[in-house]
């Protein structure tokens, strides 16, 4: 039997250890994002250590699971972290701090990788910068430098493993060169003496203990131990009980590949925000945890280790050992939903509108186990929220009654569903981007025809807006004749101020006219409202329709950041795509006919999507 010893070790305590990476392990594959994230975390902790209000004793890394055999520590889990730490230490001048030997990937008799062993001897490019907005740019630059490097150093093997080592080392050197010498010394001290790994060691003994239970002792304030890592250790250690070494290696290799593939795909925000309405925090790096929660639930008060406890109990019972295939099959089901465009939009709408979560939907599917019936059930869930009497929007979503200010929450929900519906119906080559929907910090309800406008700096702009307002006034019916007379008086006064070139007074009369038109032209109703992120709203706000349209068309030509997103229906509004052809007689202002067509389109497209 085996004894499992859990503790934490500082990085300094790893000095002179000889780590063995067996053949079932995949090669080193950390990308720029992962390396930079680790450097940033250590940097941030170094900076925080100088604060009198900071009380954390150490920065804690995820586990290294090792098995001791003689003077070697076999790395069962944590190879990627251990290798990255080795490369960071090399970049800091601490060469060969510990040893990494490979059962099959080494290229010398003792299993070492010669290139990794000597990586600190090679130059790095001082011309390459880390592009934090687009790591692919940095990746391409490093790859080109790598090709040139290999040409100039014929003895270097141009292998995939060596490139990943090389890229990580380049990133570390580029990152560190931007720190001053004093801070680098503090950074080094933080890494060696204030950074700990959770150390889970298997030593050949006679007694048996609960697998990984003592992991719970080490819950530092910086990060909390993750349920997924604990469950992963349970599966790995269970496989290691297989006595047939060939079969054991095969199962470990298969498990590692499948785990990494699932986690990698869940890290794709397009997939993640289709199945989850949760903004994942930096403390929860393993999104695969969602699958365990779907299968085992979340427990009382969202116990973050509920699933782990159930898995741990099950592994103790030889008759109820968990099956990894159950997790794989669940992921395959979610992937199938993701690929089915219709189900993708229905599931994503339900989750992002908080009608049900993915656990609920999985339970519904298992009751039905039929794709067509499942689709009908999804539509039923949405219809229960939005539709009544067969084919009408519920009163709280009635497009004839919704008012800006009083009904902002329901207007926002309706417009989100409208965007999903229009994407499904009118844009067959694209999926609605739930990740963009979730990444926006603040959504705003934008008045298509401005309820008030900014002060103009030039008289020519005053004249342009005056002419637009005249077009709007022409739409006022006879029942509003009294207000028409009042507005006509304002126009006379405005023209007089324009003749006098009085910019301040002209702006005041424009506001007075707009205020009167707001009530008459129903500017606070949904027919004059579209969805816009706060960043774009700053560019749009308080401008006339024609200018907003020009800004939007211009924004189509530039790449917006992650914090900006113009929804499809907002684009279509300013392109007048919802206006009937006979009503599109101009593109410079938002007419009464345009507003009516838009209001009708909201109801029609949502009903078409759900019924």
pLDDT in tens, 53-72: 544 457 778 788 888 888 88
| pLDDT(481) > 60 | no
Least confident of 57-61, 79-83, 116-120, 527-531: 57-61
Instruction: Please report where in the chains the tokens 């993915």 appear, as a residue.
Output: 358
Contacts of 352 (CB under 8 A, 6+ apart): 273, 277, 416, 434, 437, 438
Tokens, residue 282: 């930096």
| pLDDT(576) > 60 | yes
Average pLDDT over every residue of 168-195: 93
Most confident of 181-195, 209-223, 291-305: 181-195
Average pLDDT over every residue of 328-352: 95
| pLDDT(180) > 70 | yes
Handedness of CA 180, 182, 188, 190 (dihedral sign): negative
Average pLDDT over every residue of 247-263: 87
Which pLDDT band holds residue 52 (cuts at 50, 70, 90)? low
Contact in structure between 584 and 549 (CB atoms under 8 Å): no
Tokens, residue 311: 């898995």
Instruction: Please report where in the chains the tokens 């606070």 appear, as a residue.
Output: 524
CA atoms within 13 A on the CB side of 427: 17
Give the pLDDT score at 557. 59
Contact in structure between 327 and 295 (CB atoms under 8 Å): yes
Give the pLDDT score at 217. 35
> Beta-carbon neighbour count of residue 282 at 10 Å?
9
Tokens, residue 557: 């030509």
| pLDDT(258) > 80 | yes
| pLDDT(335) > 90 | yes
| pLDDT(358) > 80 | yes
- How far is residue 173 CA from its own chain's centroid? 28
CA atoms within 13 A on the CB side of 526: 26
Give the pLDDT score at 466. 85
Tokens, residue 127: 């011309």
pLDDT in tens, 417-465: 999 999 999 988 889 999 988 888 788 898 888 776 678 888 988 887 7
Give the pLDDT score at 604. 95
Contacts of 234 (CB under 8 A, 6+ apart): 211, 212, 308, 311, 312, 315, 322
Cα-Cα-Cα-Cα dihedral of 288, 290, 291, 297, to 10°? 150
pLDDT in tens, 39-49: 998 998 888 77
- Against a cut of 0.75, is the pTM above it? no
Which pLDDT band holds residue 192 (cuts at 50, 70, 90)? very high
> Beta-carbon neighbour count of residue 195 at 10 Å?
23
| pLDDT(187) > 50 | yes
pLDDT in tens, 142-170: 999 999 999 888 878 888 889 999 999 99
Most confident of 248-257, 453-462, 539-548, 566-575: 566-575
Contacts of 79 (CB under 8 A, 6+ apart): 21, 25, 28
Q: What percent of the chain has pLDDT over 90?
A: 41
> Beta-carbon neighbour count of residue 489 at 10 Å?
13
For residues 582 and 464, the model is more confident at: 464
Tokens, residue 319: 């008759």
For residues 537 and 583, the model is more confident at: 537
Average pLDDT taken over every residue of the chain: 84
Which pLDDT band holds residue 238 (cuts at 50, 70, 90)? confident
What is the DSSP secondary-structure string of 148-215? HHHHH-TTS---HHHHHHHHHHHHHHHHHHTS-HHHHHHHHHHHHHSEEEEEEEEEE-S----TTGGG
Contact in structure between 3 and 214 (CB atoms under 8 Å): no
């Amino acid at each position: 039997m085996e004894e499992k010893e859990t503790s934490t070790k500082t990085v300094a305590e790893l000095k002179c250890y000889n780590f063995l990476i067996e053949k079932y392990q995949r090669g080193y594959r950390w990308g720029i994002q992962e390396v930079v994230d680790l450097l940033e975390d250590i940097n941030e902790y170094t900076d925080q250590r100088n604060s009198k209000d900071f009380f954390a004793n150490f920065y804690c890394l995820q586990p290294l699971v090792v098995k001791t055999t003689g003077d070697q520590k076999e790395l069962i889990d944590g190879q990627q972290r251990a290798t990255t730490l080795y490369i960071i230490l090399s970049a800091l001048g601490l060469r060969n701090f510990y040893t990494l030997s490979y059962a099959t990937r080494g290229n010398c008799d003792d299993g070492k990788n010669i290139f990794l062993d000597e990586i600190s001897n090679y130059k790095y490019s001082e011309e390459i910068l880390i592009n934090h907005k687009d790591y692919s740019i940095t990746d391409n630059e490093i790859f080109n430098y790598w090709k040139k490097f290999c040409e100039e150093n014929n003895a270097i093997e141009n292998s995939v493993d060596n490139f990943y080592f090389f890229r990580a080392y380049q990133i570390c050197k580029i990152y560190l060169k931007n720190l001053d010498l004093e801070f680098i010394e503090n950074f080094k001290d933080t890494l060696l003496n204030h950074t700990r790994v959770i150390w889970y060691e298997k030593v050949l003994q006679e007694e048996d203990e609960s697998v990984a239970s003592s992991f719970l002792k080490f819950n530092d304030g910086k990060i909390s131990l993750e349920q997924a890592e604990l469950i992963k250790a349970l599966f790995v250690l269970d496989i290691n009980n297989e006595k047939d070494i060939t079969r054991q290696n095969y199962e470990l290799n298969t498990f590692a590949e499948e785990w990494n593939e699932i986690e990698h795909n869940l890290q794709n925000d397009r997939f993640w925000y289709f199945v989850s309405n949760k903004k994942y925090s930096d403390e929860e790096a393993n999104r695969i945890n969602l699958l365990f929660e779907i299968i085992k639930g979340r427990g009382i008060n969202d116990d973050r280790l509920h699933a782990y406890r159930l898995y741990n109990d099950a592994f103790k019972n030889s008759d109820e050992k968990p099956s990894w295939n159950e997790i794989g099959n669940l992921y395959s089901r979610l992937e199938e939903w993701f690929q089915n465009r219709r189900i993708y939009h229905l599931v994503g709408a339900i989750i992002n509108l908080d009608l049900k979560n993915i656990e609920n939907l999985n339970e519904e599917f298992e009751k039905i186990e039929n794709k067509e019936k499942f689709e009908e059930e999804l539509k039923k869930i949405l219809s229960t929220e939005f539709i009544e009497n067969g084919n009408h929007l519920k009163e709280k979503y009635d497009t004839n009654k919704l008012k800006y200010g009083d009904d902002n929450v329901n207007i926002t929900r309706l417009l989100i569903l409208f965007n999903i519906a229009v994407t499904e119906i009118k844009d067959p080559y694209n999926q609605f981007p739930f990740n963009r929907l979730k990444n926006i910090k603040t959504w705003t309800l934008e008045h298509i025809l401005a309820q008030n406008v900014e002060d103009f700096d030039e008289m020519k702009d005053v004249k342009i807006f005056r002419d637009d307002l005249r077009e709007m006034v022409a739409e006022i019916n006879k029942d509003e004749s009294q207000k028409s007379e009042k507005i006509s008086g304002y126009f006379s006064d405005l023209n007089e101020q324009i003749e006098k070139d009085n910019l301040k007074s002209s702006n005041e009369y424009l506001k007075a006219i707009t205020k009167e038109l707001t009530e008459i032209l129903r500017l606070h109703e949904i027919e004059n409202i579209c969805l816009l992120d706060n960043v774009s709203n700053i560019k749009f706000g308080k401008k006339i329709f024609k200018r907003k349209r020009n800004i939007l068309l211009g924004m189509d030509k530039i790449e917006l950041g992650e914090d900006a997103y113009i929804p499809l229906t907002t684009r279509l509004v300013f392109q007048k795509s919802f206006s009937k052809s006979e009503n599109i007689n101009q593109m410079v202002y938002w007419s009464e006919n345009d507003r009516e067509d838009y209001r009708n389109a909201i109801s029609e497209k949502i009903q078409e999507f759900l019924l």
